[in-house]
């Protein structure tokens, strides 16, 4: 009876609430959120900023790890956007290899993350070839137009530096040439198959994720200054809303042209003519010949040994050698200073002090020497030797910060991702527009921006990186690979301008010295030191822990959130009990044991929560 009474009372109360008018029961009830389910409101474009909940802890392992590593044996990808990861998986599921999947991911990222990368940008890659059992490195960064000289900028344009945006910041794009070079040397598919996911997304539209939406909004004012950019990227005069669907039919047209006509459509055909016409209209000097003669280059990777592992980077004009020099300094100088990174650990301010000081030394050499080696080759044999690192130890005070010797720019907007397949091929690839939406100059009828990589040049006379015709500028993007005893261990990278070499070194230390797994290394706090103003950003919780002590040691430190770029990584864990994969031969059907037997081990992948993406495999 009492149970029925309670039910009756509840029903009566509910009925009263339903019929209550203003000023009665309903008016006193708590209102629902103004942004239910996290849906944006007009005055709250990203409702996540109002979330004051306490973060959860994992039940196993490192409690602040955002998620488990992704494990797979048949194929795997880790990118900064879920749609790009899906595109890579789609190609792998069709029987494509890691190289095919990498080009598919790169093209898709140019569609769904257009502020960071695209056909108007630059590309570098390191490929582990399962057939050859060795590493190959591809450099596909663009060169300056033939008319670019220091006098062109100082006398003709009246400038004292190469601009950071506009048509005179844009070099010849390297991305499409890089796709072509990768597919021709290692791919099993052509443009028709690997560009299909990207072309479909451009035609049908794609939804905007949180991080991408924030970058898009930040770039809106700059985009509005170019009529073609405003028309393409700012529908209705503003950046698309969070979760809204954005279409780019002109980019779809461009991808379809490349599917049909290949690389030449971009460098010699309709697209090249459109690039030159836009350049002329915007006051630039890029010529058809600048595009037609451009070629990617297969280069020899740089390497350094760190605690039994070989760390590989691409050569200049990329900044990868700074990561290797930083690791050498830490390897050689920590014992000299009586310090051990593993014993100190990341809760000790001295740990961060040593890393920051090593970074300053490596980046001073970077900005002193880095340039296109065809014009001014940096002395890498000396800079990357352990003997040279030993000469730097007395320039590190174990108790006090030292000033930066050589300053340098730190800006950048980039994508990095990794792919791997069932045959053991692995790809480490980085692709970039430099700043958000690059030069902010959009090619009409083709829906992509030109990168502003020309801003990497200097006009300083006699500097190795001074602008010259057909020279490639100092470029921040780098891809990395780790081997041990000449066997593949890991493809990884960390996007973010000047962040990249210092972040690479931090990941190496996290995983090799501190024993972190492939996901945990990116879930922990990182520092990001600016060589430009000598200020070190620390993740907000790390700032609370060690910031005051580092300030006492003479460091300028700032609290930061979501800084230090974005990491992706894939590690291969071989299992000697398993049979080796059967490599496919010929151009026959993608069926049979070669397409069914998984790799002889496990791939372990991680992805940075600072970005929108994730790892995926099967």
381: which residues sit within 8 A by CB, 6+ positions away? none
């706090």: which residue's tokens?
525
Alpha helix (H) residue ranges in 165-303: 175-186, 191-194, 196-204, 210-218, 220-223, 227-233, 249-261, 263-267, 270-282, 288-292
Partner residues linked to 490 by β-bridges: 482, 571
């209209």: which residue's tokens?
281
Two tokens, residue 597: 């037997």
Q: How far apart are CA 69 and CA 169, in angstroms?
A: 40
Q: Chain-centre distance of CA 75, in angstroms? A: 21
Angle at 128 between CA 424 and CA 79, to 5 degrees: 80
Q: How far apart are CA 217 and CA 237, in angstroms?
A: 11
Two tokens, residue 532: 């430009």
The three-state secondary structure class of 219 is: coil
Helices (H) and strands (E) in the chain, counts: 23, 19
The set of catalytic residues is 414
Dihedral in degrees, nearest 10, Cα atoms 577, 581, 582, 583: -150
DSSP secondary structure letters along 516-545: --TTHHHHS--EEE-TTT-EEEEEHHHHHH
């Amino acid at each position: 009876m009492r149970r029925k009474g309670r039910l009756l009372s509840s029903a009566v109360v509910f009925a009263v609430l339903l019929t209550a008018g203003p000023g009665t029961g309903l008016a006193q009830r708590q209102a629902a959120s103004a942004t239910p389910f996290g849906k944006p409101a007009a005055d709250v474009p990203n409702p996540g900023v109002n979330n004051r909940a306490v973060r959860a802890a994992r039940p196993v392992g490192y409690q602040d790890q955002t998620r488990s590593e992704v494990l797979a044996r048949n194929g795997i990808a880790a990118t900064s956007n879920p749609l790009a990861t899906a595109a890579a998986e789609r190609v792998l599921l069709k029987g494509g290899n890691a190289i095919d999947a990498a080009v598919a991911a790169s093209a898709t990222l140019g569609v769904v993350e257009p502020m960071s990368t695209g056909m108007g940008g630059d590309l570098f890659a390191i490929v582990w070839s399962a057939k050859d059992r060795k590493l190959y490195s591809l450099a596909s960064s663009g060169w300056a137009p033939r008319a670019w000289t220091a006098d062109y900028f100082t006398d003709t344009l009246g400038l004292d530096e190469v601009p950071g945006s506009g048509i005179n910041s844009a070099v010849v794009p390297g991305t499409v040439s890089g796709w072509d070079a990768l597919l021709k040397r290692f791919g099993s598919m052509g443009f028709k198959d690997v560009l299909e996911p990207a072309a479909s997304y451009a035609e049908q539209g794609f939804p905007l994720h949180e991080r991408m939406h924030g970058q898009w909004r930040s770039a809106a004012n700059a985009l509005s200054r170019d009529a073609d950019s405003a028309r393409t990227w700012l529908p209705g005069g503003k950046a698309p809303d969070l979760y809204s669907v954005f279409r780019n039919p002109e980019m779809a047209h461009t991808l379809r042209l490349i599917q049909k006509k290949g690389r030449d459509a971009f460098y010699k055909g309709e697209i090249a003519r459109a690039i030159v016409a836009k350049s002329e209209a915007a006051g630039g000097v890029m010529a058809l010949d600048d595009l037609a003669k451009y070629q990617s280059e297969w280069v020899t990777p740089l390497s350094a040994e760190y605690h039994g592992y070989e760390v590989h980077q691409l050569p200049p004009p990329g900044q990868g050698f700074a990561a290797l020099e930083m690791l050498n300094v830490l390897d050689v100088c920590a014992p000299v200073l009586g310090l051990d990174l593993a014993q100190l650990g990341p809760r000790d301010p001295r740990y961060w002090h040593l890393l920051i000081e090593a970074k300053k030394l490596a980046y001073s050499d970077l900005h002193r020497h880095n340039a296109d080696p065809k014009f001014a080759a940096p002395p890498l044999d000396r800079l990357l030797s352990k003997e040279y690192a030993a000469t730097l130890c007395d320039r590190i005070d174990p108790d006090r910060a030292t000033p930066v010797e050589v300053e340098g720019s730190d800006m950048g907007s980039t994508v990095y991702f990794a792919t791997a397949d069932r045959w053991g091929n692995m790809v480490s690839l980085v692709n970039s527009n430099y700043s958000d939406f690059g030069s902010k100059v959009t090619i009409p009828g083709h829906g992509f921006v030109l990168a502003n990589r020309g801003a990497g040049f200097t006009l300083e006379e006699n500097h190795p990186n001074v602008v010259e015709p057909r020279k490639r500028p100092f470029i921040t993007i780098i891809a990395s690979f780790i081997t041990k005893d000449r066997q593949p261990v890991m493809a990884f990278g960390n996007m973010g301008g000047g962040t990249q070499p210092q972040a690479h070194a931090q990941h190496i230390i996290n995983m090799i010295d501190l024993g972190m797994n492939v996901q945990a290394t990116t879930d922990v706090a990182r520092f990001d030191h600016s060589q430009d103003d000598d200020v070190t950003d620390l993740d907000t919780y790390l700032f609370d822990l060690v910031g005051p002590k580092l300030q006492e040691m003479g460091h300028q430190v700032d609290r930061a959130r979501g800084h230090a770029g974005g990491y992706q990584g894939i590690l291969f864990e071989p299992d000697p009990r398993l049979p080796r994969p059967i490599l496919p031969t010929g151009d026959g059907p993608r069926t049979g044991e070669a397409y069914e037997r998984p790799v002889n081990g496990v791939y372990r992948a991680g992805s940075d929560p600072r970005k929108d993406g994730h790892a995926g495999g099967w």
